């Protein structure tokens, strides 16, 4: 069996994702679709609107064959590290190709790669994001900027893929109609951005949502509690009010001096949104601040995140019959540890960061997220 890989968040799964899944198998001719999906905390530094098990179930219903989790120590990172984690897992699972959405699939990544400096530390400035630093160099050397988020992420997939001993074939698929950050659902459209879908769901605008999401997604959005940062704000506020700055300084992605600003601004903030506005400056994007807030909430330190990134693994969330057959085919040669459930030992050693992230998410979700949860199985 041959497999095609996708790196996703499905927050939540909408018609654009469904098109992506269908095109992945159609354009590659693969027998099995392997999806690496972020867990309960996402790349933009926010909680998923639906928990990872619900989103994995929706992915299986949409046609994915094997769903594995992107660990939290990669899922909540800037684009280059998010891409690294997902590409490592897909490569370990023997995928021959990687399909991803792009605003400009015609981009020549080989040419753009010549803009990268030889020094790997060149993009480690505290006061600018990886994307900002890279685009500055890219514009200076090639006259091109990757201004669209999916184009930037696609290029990060390219870079991570090039580092592999046997690179996968990259297959970009043009993003359909809706822009990534579009906030409204257009009349008579079958596609909408994830941002627009989430806003409509939280507003209960089911009539607008029905044409742009699969029926199963609509049902889950209508019947489940929808998570958002506001739910976790009291816990983050408590962390920042009570922790010493020497402790928060160790939080992952905490820039030099940012811990003092966050400590000061949390004193008077009335909500998470208000807190972000108070902390915001030209040095930091809102996304960067949300990632730091996620690290502070989950108490993810730079040291333990970096250590975990050197020990990636494959955590299975669900599969159908094809996915089961493919997993049996590749698991004997799998270069990464394979986990199908978290027991008491793994929650303390090996998968402790994902377990911690799941327990915090569970404070609001109220559904067990990790301990003894077995993969979803669709064998009909």
- Confirm whether residue 318 is marked as ligand binding: no
Burial bucket for residue 366 (CB in 10 Å: 0-12, 13-18, 19+): exposed
Strand 338-339 and strand 3-8: the pairing is unpaired
Burial 174-194 (b: 16+ CB within 10 A, else e): ebeebebeeeebeeebbbbbb
Q: Is 80 annotated as a binding residue?
A: no
Report the sign of the C-alpha dihedral through residues 188, 192, 197, 203, in that order. negative
Question: What is d(CA 120, CA 140) in angstroms, rounded to the nearest whole number?
Answer: 18
Same domain, 349 and 260: no
Residues 268 and 274: their CA atoms lie apart, in Å, by 9
With a threshold of 0.85, does the pTM exceed it? Answer: yes
The reply to whether 39 sits in an annotated binding site is no
CATH number, domain with residue 29: 3.40.50.620
Does one domain contain both 152 and 282?
Answer: no
* Omega before 134 within 30 of 0, i.e. cis: no
Show pLDDT as tens, one digit a residue, over the chain (380 residues): 999 999 999 999 999 999 999 999 999 999 999 999 999 999 999 999 999 999 999 999 999 999 999 999 999 999 999 999 999 999 999 999 999 998 888 888 887 777 666 655 566 665 566 667 777 777 777 776 777 778 889 999 999 999 998 999 999 998 765 555 677 888 878 999 999 999 999 999 999 999 999 999 999 999 999 999 999 999 999 999 999 999 999 999 998 789 999 999 999 999 999 999 999 988 888 999 999 999 999 999 999 999 999 999 999 999 999 999 999 999 999 999 999 988 888 898 889 999 999 999 999 999 999 998 999 999 87
> Among 261, 283, 306, which residue terminates a domain?
306
65, 175: one domain: yes
Q: How many CB atoms lie within 10 A of CB 88?
A: 22
Q: Is residue 266 part of a domain?
A: yes
Residue 89 assigned to a binding site? no
Has 136 been labeled as part of a binding site? no
Residue 134, domain member (yes or no): no
- Residue where one domain finishes, among candidates 259, 275, 306: 306
Same domain, yes or no: 299 and 314: no
Q: Is 14 annotated as contributing to ligand binding?
A: yes
Q: Are residues 236 and 345 in the same domain?
A: no
Domain tally, the chain: 2
Is 63 labelled a binding residue? no
In a domain, 320, yes or no: yes
17 assigned ligand-binding residue: yes
The 3-class SS string of 205-248 reads CHHHHCCCCCHHHHHHHHHCCCCCHHHHHHHHHHHHHHCCHHHH
- Domain end residue (candidates: 306, 326, 357): 306
Whether residue 22 sits in one domain with residue 8? yes
Whether residue 365 is annotated as binding a ligand: the answer is no
Listed as own residue / partner, the contacts of 147-150 with beta carbons closer than 8 Å and 24 or more positions apart are 148/102, 148/103, 148/104, 148/180, 149/79, 149/180, 149/181, 150/100, 150/101, 150/102, 150/103, 150/175, 150/180
Residues 281 and 243 grouped into a single domain = yes
Q: What pLDDT score was predicted for residue 112?
A: 78
Q: Do the Cβ atoms of 283 and 127 come closer than 8 Å?
A: yes
CA distance 223 to 95: 35
Any binding-site annotation on 15? Answer: yes
Query: What range does the domain containing 289 cover?
Result: 229-306
Indicate the Cα dihedral angle 69, 62, 5, 93, nearest 10°.
Answer: 50
Q: What does the alpha-carbon distance between residue 72 and residue 353 come to, in Å, rounded to a whole number?
A: 7
Is residue 19 marked as binding? yes
């Amino acid at each position: 069996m041959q497999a095609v890989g996708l790196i996703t968040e499905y927050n939540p799964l909408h018609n654009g994702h469904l098109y992506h899944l269908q095109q992945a198998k159609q354009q590659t001719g693969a027998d099995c679709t392997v999806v690496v999906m972020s867990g309960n905390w996402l790349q933009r530094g926010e909680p998923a609107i639906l928990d990872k098990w619900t989103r994995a179930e929706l992915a299986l219903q949409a046609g994915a064959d094997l769903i594995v989790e992107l660990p939290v120590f990669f899922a909540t990172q800037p684009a280059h590290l998010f891409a690294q984690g997902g590409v490592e897992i897909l490569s370990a699972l023997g995928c021959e190709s990687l399909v991803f959405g792009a605003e400009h699939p015609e981009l020549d990544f080989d040419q753009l790669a010549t803009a990268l400096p030889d020094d790997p530390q060149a993009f480690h400035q505290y006061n600018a994001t990886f994307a900002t630093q890279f685009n500055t160099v890219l514009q200076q050397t090639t006259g091109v900027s990757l201004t669209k988020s999916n184009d930037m992420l696609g290029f990060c997939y390219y870079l991570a893929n090039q580092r592999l001993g046997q690179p996968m074939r990259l297959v970009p698929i043009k993003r359909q109609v809706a822009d990534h950050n579009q906030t409204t659902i257009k009349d008579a459209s079958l596609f909408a951005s994830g941002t627009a879908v989430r806003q409509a769901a939280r507003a209960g605008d089911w009539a607008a949502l029905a044409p742009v999401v699969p029926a199963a997604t609509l049902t889950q959005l209508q019947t489940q509690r929808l998570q958002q940062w506001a739910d976790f704000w009291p816990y983050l506020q408590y962390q920042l009010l009570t922790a010493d700055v020497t402790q928060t300084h160790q939080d992952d992605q905490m820039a030099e001096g940012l811990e003092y600003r966050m400590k000061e601004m949390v004193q008077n903030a009335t909500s998470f949104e208000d807190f972000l506005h108070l902390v915001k400056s030209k040095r930091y994007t809102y996304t960067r601040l949300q990632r730091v807030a996620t690290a502070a909430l989950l108490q993810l330190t730079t040291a333990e995140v970096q250590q975990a990134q050197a020990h990636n693994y494959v955590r299975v969330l669900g599969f159908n019959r094809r996915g089961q057959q493919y997993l049996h085919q590749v698991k004997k040669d799998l270069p990464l540890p394979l986990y199908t459930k978290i027991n008491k030992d793994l929650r303390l050693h090996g998968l402790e960061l994902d377990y911690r992230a799941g327990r915090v998410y569970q404070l609001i979700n109220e559904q067990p997220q990790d301990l003894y949860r077995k993969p979803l199985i669709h064998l009909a």
